[in-house]
């Protein structure tokens, strides 16, 4: 598995990471997926304290405990919850971040986190205070680097200008090309993009479109109607007959120089293997990338203030 460096860090992550959110709540199944991912050459695991209210971190922690030094471990903070209470609320305060990291370390059974990410954010947050928390955790050796997980342009610009983030996690796929509007700016700051959702909820895989859920059938996906999704998939098949849809989706995302890794989820081992195999496909040429862009929409964020 090829590796890429995240931003200005010394974190060399596999081009295909594993988004752990879809592992589920059954530990044996989750463990089998994690073990297979690592055996296939994936060294980048992304979880979050919010996923199944800490259970996801516990599964990841158990899976990597005996091989921690071989793993680039990423988790997230900012969504606060309390036991025996439903729901969560947003808390990017310094006090909470420094409290939450201790709980994540315990669940992950480690004494450091390679990449600690703010799990969201708004322009009204105490951004300087949040940055201070991450910087202090770096000095303490509790985290190696930090980043944000956000699609809000104004938030992204604040962190690019004021912090030492090495990465920005963004929903990005061939069907959601909104982040491309900001790639030049992000790259100018020597920050990497971590692409989540690169398979667009399975719409860019071999799974028949007819099996999509009713919401997609009725409302489409982002700015695409169901009929448009069907047309795009047909055009992709016609233009790239020697590629699977998964290969097309992942190789397109990885063709962007600012992208440090794509982190599709996997709810079973077959999906995981398809994702890893797709990464081995040959890179697209400049002309092929142009063709892909003509087939899909160059959708942009419609409201820069609130996006």
Tokens of 59: 């599964």
What integer pLDDT is reported at residue 304 of this predicted model?
Answer: 46
* Burial status of residue 217 (CB atoms within 10 A of its CB: 0-12, 13-18, 19 or more): middle
What integer pLDDT is reported at residue 21 of this predicted model?
Answer: 94
Q: Give CA–CA dist 199/177, Å, rounded.
A: 12
- Contact (CB, 8 A) for 51 and 39: no
Q: DSSP per residue over the chain, as a string?
A: --EEE-TTSS-EEESB-EEGGGG-S-HHHHHHHHHHHHHTT--EEE--TTGGGGHHHHHHHHHHGGGGGG-EEEEEE-EE--TTS-S-EE---HHHHHHHHHHHHHHHT-S-EEEEEEE---TTS-HHHHHHHHHHHHHHTSEEEEEEE---HHHHHHHHHHS---EEEEE-BTTB-GGGGGHHHHHHTT-EEEEE-TTGGGTTSSS-GGGS-HHHHHH-BTTB-HHHHHHHHHHHHHH-TTS-HHHHHHHHHHTSTTEEEEE-B-SSHHHHHHHHHHHTSPPPPHHHHHHHHHHS-----S-TTT-
Confidence band for 306, pLDDT divided at 50, 70 and 90 = very low
- Whether pTM > 0.85 for this model: the answer is yes
Average pLDDT over residues 138-161: 96
Tokens of 212: 């999509």
Confidence band for 99, pLDDT divided at 50, 70 and 90 = very high
225-282, pLDDT tens digit by residue?
999 999 999 999 999 999 999 999 999 999 999 999 999 999 999 999 999 999 889 9
Question: How many CB atoms neighbour CB 197 within 10 A?
Answer: 20
Residue 39 pLDDT more than 50? yes
Is 51 a known active-site residue? yes
| Mean residue pLDDT across the chain | 94
What integer pLDDT is reported at residue 82 of this predicted model?
Answer: 74
Confidence band for 223, pLDDT divided at 50, 70 and 90 = very high
Nearest Cα to 192, choosing from 149, 139, 158?
149
What integer pLDDT is reported at residue 302 of this predicted model?
Answer: 55
Residue 55 pLDDT more than 90? yes
Of the listed 12, 51, 53, 159, which one is catalytic?
51
- Contact (CB, 8 A) for 185 and 253: no
Nearest Cα to 299, choosing from 174, 157, 152?
174
């Amino acid at each position: 598995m090829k590796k890429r460096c995240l931003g200005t860090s010394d974190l060399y992550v596999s081009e295909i990471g594993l988004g752990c959110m879809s592992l589920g709540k059954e530990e044996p199944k989750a463990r089998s997926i994690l073990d297979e991912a690592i055996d296939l050459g994936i060294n980048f695991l992304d979880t979050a304290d919010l996923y199944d209210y800490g259970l996801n971190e516990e599964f990841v922690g158990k899976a990597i405990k005996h091989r921690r030094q071989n793993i680039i471990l990423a988790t997230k903070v900012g969504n606060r919850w309390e036991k025996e209470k439903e729901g969560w609320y947003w808390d990017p305060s310094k006090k909470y971040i420094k409290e939450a990291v201790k709980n994540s370390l315990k669940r992950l059974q480690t004494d450091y986190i390679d990449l600690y990410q703010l799990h969201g954010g708004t322009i009204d947050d105490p951004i300087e205070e949040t940055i201070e928390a991450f910087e202090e955790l770096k000095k303490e050796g509790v985290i190696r680097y930090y980043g944000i997980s956000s699609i809000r342009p104004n938030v992204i610009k604040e962190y690019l200008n004021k912090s030492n983030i090495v990465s920005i996690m963004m929903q990005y796929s061939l069907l959601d090309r909104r982040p491309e509007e900001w790639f030049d700016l992000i790259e100018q700051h020597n920050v990497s993009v971590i692409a989540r959702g690169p398979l667009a909820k399975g719409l860019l895989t071999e799974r028949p479109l007819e099996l999509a859920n009713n919401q997609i059938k009725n409302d489409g996906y982002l700015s695409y109607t169901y009929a448009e999704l069907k047309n795009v998939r047909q055009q992709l098949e016609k233009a790239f007959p020697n590629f699977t849809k998964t290969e097309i989706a992942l190789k397109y995302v990885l063709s962007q120089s600012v992208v440090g890794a794509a982190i599709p989820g996997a709810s079973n081992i077959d999906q995981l293997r398809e994702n890893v195999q797709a990464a081995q496909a040959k890179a697209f040429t400049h002309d092929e990338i142009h063709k892909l862009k003509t087939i899909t929409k160059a959708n942009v964020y419609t409201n820069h203030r609130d996006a």
